[in-house]
């Protein structure tokens, strides 16, 4: 069964196709001003930076995992996440430059 994932950033055709091959059906929406619609009803995975001022994730009853594109997670509505057992992962080390 395919899992529905909502991305607020398009990583390009090749990478998105790789995710689809892992049994994900992907919805891509711009983060700015993102609001809940019935299209998000069955979303299980949210990959985003910070849509939480406008996107009410409490309405996303099937949401199981939020992958943040940020290092921090202060923007996440912690009560909703806790009360709904939603896993949150961040982009740890995402901005570290490799030095040789």
Q: Which of 31, 83, 81, 70 is nearest to 54 (CA)?
A: 31
Q: Is the Cβ–Cβ distance between 87 and 64 less than 8 Å?
A: yes
Residue 52 counted as domain residue: yes
Residue 84 counted as domain residue: yes
Residue 96 counted as domain residue: no
Q: What is the pLDDT of residues 18-74, one digit of tens each?
A: 999 999 999 999 999 999 999 999 999 999 999 999 999 999 999 999 999 988 888
pLDDT at 92 over 90: no
Which one is predicted more confidently, 92 or 45?
A: 45
Residue 10 token pair:
């398009």
User: What length does the chain have?
Assistant: 100
Residue 97 counted as domain residue: no
pTM of the predicted model, to two decimals?
0.89
CATH of the domain at 83: 3.40.50.720
Q: Is the Cβ–Cβ distance between 24 and 2 less than 8 Å?
A: yes
Give the pLDDT score at 2: 87
**Torsion over CA: 92, 29, 18, 60 (sign):** positive
Give the pLDDT score at 72: 80
- Find the domain containing 14 and state its range: 3-89
Residue 100 counted as domain residue: no
Counting the structural domains of the chain, the total is 1
């Amino acid at each position: 069964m395919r899992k529905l994932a909502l991305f607020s950033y398009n990583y390009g055709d090749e990478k998105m196709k790789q995710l689809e091959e892992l049994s994900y059906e992907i919805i891509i929406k711009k983060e700015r001003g993102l609001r809940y619609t019935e299209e998000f009803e069955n979303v299980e995975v949210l990959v985003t930076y910070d849509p939480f001022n406008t996107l009410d994730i409490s309405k996303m009853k099937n949401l199981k995992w939020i992958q943040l594109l940020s290092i921090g997670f202060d923007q996440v509505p912690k009560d909703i996440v806790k009360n709904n057992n939603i896993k949150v992962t961040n982009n740890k080390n995402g901005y570290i430059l490799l030095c040789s």
